Amino acid sequence: MADEPIVWAGWKFTPVGEKPEELRAYKYYLHRRKRNLLQWGVIAILKDKAPSLVSGTADQSIDDVCIQEILQAIESRRPGYELKQSRNFFVQGLDRGVREGLWSIQVPAPVFTIRRQKALFQPETFIRLPEIRRIQCLLIASWSEPEFFQQSESYLQSLKAIKGFIPGDEYKQLRAGQLLLTAMLYGGLLESQWLYALPSHINAMQANADCCWIDFFEDVKRVWESDEIRQVEEKGQQLRQESLLRRRWFPDSITELLLLRWHSDKLDNFPKLENNNRHKADSYCQYLINAFLRVVGLEATITLPDLISGASIAVALELPAFLLNFAAGKIASTSLPVQAWQRLASDNRGQQTDFDVNLEQFKANGLPVPVYSDDSIISRYDQYQYYQTLSKKLTLKKGEKKRSHARSIHIIQDFLQTYQEHIAPPLQRLCQWALEMYRNGSYAKARLAVSTVPKYLGQLKELVNILGNQDPMLLEGDELLEIYQDLVDSSKTIKAKAYKAGRIKEFQYYLLKCGYPDEIKFSELTGVTNSGSSVDANYINETGFQATLTELNRVDASQPRFVTVRRLITILGYRCGLRRTEAHKIRLCDIQLGAYPVLLVRANAYKTVKSTHSTRQILLKPLLSGVEFRELMQWIEYRRLEQALDGFETDSSFLFSHDHDGQQLIDELLVFPVIQTVLRAITGDQTVRYHHLRHSFANNLLFKLMHVEWPALAFNQPNQEFNTEEENQLFGLNSRRSSRKHLYQVSAALLGHANPEITLKSYIHLCDYALCDFLNKAHESQLQVPTVVVLSGIGREALYKMKQRNYTGWSILAIAKKRLRDRVFPQQAFATKYALIKQDVPIDWPPELLQIIYPECQREPSLSILHQLIEYSNTNDKNSQYWADRTGYSESDIQGWLDAAALLANMKTNKGAPRHIRPQWYGLQDAEKKQSFQAREVLQPPRCMYRPHKRSDIKDTQLVFKGLQQLRTSQAPLVQWAVRYFLQNNIAHRSHLRMKTQADAEQFKEFILALGLPKKRLHCRLKSQTRQECLPAEEQIQNWAKALTIPENQIRLVGSIRKQGDDYGSLRMTIVNEKGVGSFGFRYAIYMMGILMLGANEIALEG
């Protein structure tokens, strides 16, 4: 193998090395050797099936079918480890070849494994189950004893007779012990920390029409950030107190009845015991539970940890594993913050009247924003290898003489100059940060040691891989915070996480100095400290989502294209869980159509994925409603027409691009600020952001798959046609019964997380309610009507009378809970900053946000679609009916546009020259080629002006067309006159438009200024009048310059006329670009607007 390559498409083989003598080293040697042999086996398959890949040049025969055949050969008859290593080696080589520019091939997904962890509950622990069952029987018996709730003397005497009895409100002791034991065995309060906290939070209970809950808060100490505002008494303090929501507990129906009965009986706080400190929660709860068990007949004393462990085993038979682990505190999950939960529980938002809206940020200029300029070249170079080169140069070697700061600065400057054209923005920012640290230190230290700067850079080196070609200065704060969180999570210890977080703050401080616009909340970085705010949790329910789509049709609706893009990006975030960049930069080839359309989330030349696990397939039909699916498919078809594509499986055009160029993304500032403003107005919560749609998707899908029914989620919305059970099963979205697989489906398959722990900790915020729902399904069958009567204290006749009068169809249990909630919490309202109002009530927007520039835009196509309609229509198969079916516009409108285009195509001057469509043969000197073009145009005459191709012309087209759209409503007579004048006087082979009179010239100049074009772009050509009584040519130029109020150098003398024309000569006018050439985009935009206005009968041409 000495003469063979040691890399595969740039991806290195695993080095074997020499055979070691040490036993442990020999073990690793065998492991490396096995991987190396597997890799050479892959190369052997490639030599047989695709030798061009081995040589580094893929020919046309290497297609998706060939790749699948290679994968099948690699994976055939291989065990799991070999399959993973072999396939990933092949996939990594393909991907490296794409980045090196060797070929352009669709790279298949790699294989990753989810490590199986040891079961949290071992079989031997089930020996406690019989004892727990006996305790449950005794507890159930106490629920059915009316005397227990009536301060029966027999129970009180039994309590006083037990060993270790502590005096102090004996009746409360019994009720408190019963309540604690029920909360543990049936209410899911299996974590000792919150069981012990229940006595102190008994009066913190809240309720709405559907449920009751208790918020458990904990006082924690947080480090003051350097930029936080402090009060006078807080200055000089390093730590501050913060009340942090740690757990929201929804009791099951049985525990809820006991809690409501406790408050209904006005028992108030838990009992105070003599010689027992209630603040020692463990011993306090231990005594109350054991005292109750002794009274009801259990002789043996059981410790609270053993009781909790046994209760966990009993509940394990009733719950999905992740909910059990959540209840026991063995996995973390963040509950919704108070404001978000109040909105969800009440279905109300705060009615906001003071909108802090930056209208300039919403101003949709309609101009293209290039994604990259020369980044296609940059992407061919390995940025991480460049970083390693720089790091080696900056790091002091052992024994090397101490280097000065000036020398280190010189090293970085030489590096930037040497690799200037090959370095991507992330590495450039790191280099500039290093220069700043060498010169001015950090924001914490005025001077840093030479050896410190490379260490700081090393903490953020993964940025060059994560960001790819994206400049961190252009990312939104939320997106950048996610990347920072990934960097922190990559460290293993809390000390390492805290150190890396410090370096991240240093780097962000440098970006702020460079003008980074957004604020980063570093308090949201998790894993850095043991306390403090952790996850930015929030949730939007179905009502809020539908209201958001409605409001997006109203806010800043000047451009229908932008409205559609915002709606679809919102839908993809809420229904499919896409991140901002994943939704914004979808390409047409990322959507695979067929019977079951699939959206591929993958990296490309224009975006990176957050991690390797983020590469995934999103199944559109099972996730979107029927209305949303049709809207997305209609937009995809619309984009296909704009690109003139019959099939787009390999087309790299963006789905959300400008209409004139599929490679020009609509600027995210025209999309996400509007979405965020609408979301915050709908929810009344100023912390909501686009990423919370992804959080909502995770919670909604998990609840749907697990059949958790909750009216607050508002799943049953009208016009929400979701898919059949068979379609869901086809994609593994099996919702017939609940299992832990549903969490894996939500986590790995659809959200793109490495493991479910990430999903539970940061995304699933309703585990608390799901726990309650499953416990109720398991326990409510044990509650018979007599038991409900005893627990609630409401008579049987009263419950049945309420059922007959007001609550037909309700269960007796539900009626009892409703009656007790109304008694304990009459008309409870949440305290909010603003007046409460339903989420689906329309927003009272400021008038400037609701101005629609022109009403016709809703029923008129984009320039690209209009051009396609005209150029490719015919009377046989592609007539007006055909285009109406594909575009959604009416047949009459389409026929009007086609008739207008035909009229303009046939317009000629008195001398027979075409007015608008310049023949391709015009001006050709080659007679043979000229004759060929003429023969072709005889068979198929051109039907439309050729579309602009130069970037300056494309920009002018967009700018002028947008101005024309505005003028159609604001200055209709002016735009009608100007378009009509242009259509009647334009000549195809001339760049300048002839002005018949001086009044026409002045009015057309006013029209140009009204479009938003600067006066300096106006250029005129003058043929001077040479009759004897007329002024000299110089004075004629001065007269025109004065009339048009432009400098004389913008009027060029090009000849003379005699015996005809005006006394001041014949003037022609146009708009020029930066090079002084007449703008074809200006003429093309007026021509296309003329077709629309002729079709709408807004103008009519003479003759």
Query: Tens of pLDDT along 552-585?
Result: 988 877 778 889 999 999 999 999 999 988 999 9
Tokens of 668: 């995210």
pLDDT band at 3; cut points 50, 70, 90: very low
Within a 13 Å sphere around the CA of 664, how many CA atoms are in the beta-carbon half? Answer: 14
Mean pLDDT over residues 312-330, rounded?
A: 87
Mean pLDDT on 464-485: 80
Residue 458 above 80 pLDDT? yes
pLDDT at residue 78, as a whole number: 80
Coil vs helix vs strand at 464: helix
Nearest C-alpha neighbor of 693 from the set 536, 570, 543, 599: 570
Least confident piece of the model among 378-392, 405-419, 864-878, 1079-1093 = 378-392
Nearest-CA neighbor of 1088 among 993, 925, 913, 948?
948
Q: What is the band of 366 on the pLDDT scale with cuts at 50, 70, 90?
A: very low
- The average pLDDT across 1015-1044 equals 88
Answer whether residue 747 shows pLDDT above 80. Answer: no
pLDDT at 586: 92
For the segment 227-276, what is each residue's pLDDT rounded down to a tens digit?
Answer: 566 677 766 666 677 778 888 999 999 999 999 999 999 998 998 887 65
Q: For position 2, what pLDDT does the model report?
A: 40
Exposed, middle or buried, 274 (CB in 10 Å: 0-12/13-18/19+)? exposed
How much of the chain exceeds pLDDT 70, in percent? 84
Using CB atoms within 10 Å of the CB of residue 673, give its burial: 0 to 12 exposed, 13 to 18 middle, 19+ buried.
middle
What is the side-by-side strand order in the sheet with 1018-1025?
A: 993-995, 1066-1071, 1018-1025, 1051-1057
Least Cα distance to 973 among 1093, 819, 829 occurs for 1093
The two three-digit tokens of residue 559, written as one number: 């451009």
**pLDDT tens digits, one per residue of 263-316:** 999 998 998 887 655 558 888 899 999 999 999 888 888 888 889 988 988 888
**Statement: residue 666 has pLDDT above 50:** yes
- Output the pLDDT for position 377: 44
From 839, 743, 722, select the one nearest 323 (Cα to Cα). 743
Mean pLDDT of 396-409: 79
Q: What is the pLDDT of residue 724?
A: 57
3-class SS string, 605-649 = CCECCCCHHHCEEEEHHHHCCHHHHHHHHHHHHHHHHHHCCCCCC
Residues in the chain: 1103
Using the structure block, give the residue that is written with the tokens 């390492």.
496
> Max Cα separation, the chain?
134
Number of Cβ within 10 Å of residue 559's Cβ equals 20
- Band (830; pLDDT cuts 50, 70, 90): very low
Which domains occur in the chain, in start order? Answer: 7-99 (no CATH), 130-225+237-333 (1.10.443), 369-397+411-524 (no CATH), 855-919+945-1095 (no CATH)
Q: How far apart are CA 689 and CA 676, in angstroms?
A: 6
Which of 603-617, 762-776, 870-884 has the lowest average pLDDT?
603-617
pLDDT per residue as tens digits for the range 945-965? 888 888 888 888 888 988 888
Residue 791 has a pLDDT of: 92
Tell me which H or E stretch contains 661.
strand 661-665
Mean pLDDT of the 363-384 span? 48
Give the pLDDT band of residue 1086 (cuts 50, 70, 90).
Answer: very high
Instruction: Find the helix or strand (DSSP H, E) in which 1080 lies.
Output: helix 1080-1095
**Euclidean distance between CA atoms 1050 and 1037, whole angstroms:** 10
Tell whether the model's pLDDT for residue 825 goes beyond 80: yes
Q: Which residues of 334-345 are buried (b: 16+ CB within 10 A; e: fewer)?
A: bbbbebbbbbbb
Q: Which residue has the tokens 């106006």?
A: 1018
Query: What digits encode the pLDDT tens for the residues 144-182?
Result: 998 888 888 888 888 888 887 888 788 889 999 999 999
Neighbour-count burial of 1085, counting CB atoms closer than 10 A to its CB (0-12 exposed, 13-18 middle, 19+ buried): buried
Angle between helices 785-792 and 129-143 (to 10 degrees): 70
Helices first, then strands: H and E counts in the chain? 46, 17
Write the CB contacts of 81 (distance below 8 Å, at least 6 apart in sequence): none
- CB-side neighbour CA atoms (13 Å) of 61: 8
Q: Provide DSSP, 289-357.
A: HHHHHHHHT--S---HHHHHHHHHHHHHTTS-HHHHHHHTTSS--PPPPHHHHHHHHHTEEEE------
779-814 tens-digit pLDDT: 888 789 999 999 999 999 999 999 998 888 899 999
pLDDT at 448 over 90: no
pLDDT band of residue 888 (cuts 50, 70, 90) is: confident
Q: For tokens 């809206």, name the residue.
A: 357
Two structure tokens written together for 696: 């909502």
Decide which of 660 and 699 is more confident. 699
The gap from C-alpha 864 to its chain's centroid, in whole angstroms, comes to: 28
pLDDT of residue 873: 83
Give the 3-state secondary structure of residue 248.
Answer: strand
Mean pLDDT of 963-978: 88
At residue 367, the pLDDT reads 40
Contacts of 337 (CB under 8 A, 6+ apart): 245, 537, 538, 687
CA–CA separation, 658 and 826 (whole Å):
55
Range of weakest confidence among 134-148, 304-318, 636-650: 636-650
pLDDT of 1033 above 80: yes
Residue range 730-752: mean pLDDT, rounded: 63
* Alpha-carbon separation of residue 976 from 214, 285, 1071 (angstroms): 67, 84, 19
Q: Mean pLDDT throughout 885-913?
A: 85
Instruction: Assign 364 a pLDDT band (cuts: 50, 70, 90).
Output: very low
pLDDT of residue 697: 92
CA dihedral 995, 1001, 1007, 1008 (to 10 degrees): 80
Whole-angstrom CA distances from 400 to 79, 128, 393, 403, 422 are 50, 66, 12, 8, 30
592-632 pLDDT, tens digit each: 888 788 899 988 777 767 777 788 888 888 889 889 999 99
Of 922 and 25, the one with more pLDDT: 25
- State the pLDDT confidence band at 365, using cuts at 50, 70 and 90: very low
Strand pairing of 11-12 and 7-8? Answer: antiparallel
Sign, CA torsion 818/821/825/826: positive
Tell me which residue of 54, 55, 115 sits closest to 84, measured CA to CA: 115
Please identify which residue in the block is written with the tokens 């210890």. 493
pLDDT over 70 (residue 5): no
Q: Which two tokens stand for residue 576?
A: 């499919």
Q: How far apart are CA 78 and CA 83, in angstroms?
A: 5
Q: DSSP letter for 553, please.
A: T
| Segment 641-647 mean pLDDT | 69
Question: How far apart (Å, rounded) are the C-alpha atoms in residues 128 and 125?
Answer: 6
**Helix H segments across 50-167?**
51-55, 64-75, 80-99, 129-143, 153-161
The predicted pLDDT at position 225 comes to 58
Query: What pLDDT is stored for residue 594 in this prediction?
Result: 80
| pLDDT tens string 858-873 | 567 888 888 888 888 8
Per-residue confidence (pLDDT) for residue 375, from 0 to 100: 44
Q: Tell me how far apart the alpha carbons of residues 960 and 200 are, in angstroms, rounded to a whole number.
A: 69
pLDDT exceeding 90 applies to what percent of the chain? Answer: 18
Asked if 549 contacts 720 with a C-beta cutoff of 8 angstroms, the reply is no
Distance CA 658, CA 369 (A): 9
Closest by CA position to 334, among listed 579, 540, 534: 534
pLDDT band, very low/low/confident/very high, at 1058 (cuts 50, 70, 90):
confident
C-alpha distances in Å from residue 386, one per residue of 16, 372, 427, 430, 457 = 26, 20, 8, 12, 13
Task: Give the pLDDT confidence score for residue 451 in this predicted structure.
Answer: 82
Does residue 189 come out as left (phi exceeding 0), alpha (psi in the -120 to 50 range) or beta? beta
Whether the per-residue pLDDT at 41 is higher than 60: the answer is yes
Which pLDDT belongs to residue 60? Answer: 67
Cβ neighbours around 189 below 10 Å, total:
28
Confidence of residue 138 (pLDDT cuts 50, 70, 90): very high
Average pLDDT for residues 305-329, to the nearest whole number? 87
What is the band of 224 on the pLDDT scale with cuts at 50, 70, 90?
low
Higher pLDDT, residue 3 or 126: 126
Rounded Cα gap, residues 491 and 497, in angstroms: 5
Interatomic CA distance for residues 172 and 155, integer angstroms: 12
User: For residue 422, what pLDDT is reported?
Assistant: 80
Give me the residues paired with residue 916 across strands.
none
More confident residue, 275 or 508: 508
pLDDT tens digits for 511-540?
Answer: 888 877 777 777 667 666 544 445 778 899
Q: Is the pLDDT of residue 47 over 70?
A: yes
Mean pLDDT score of the chain, rounded to an integer? 81
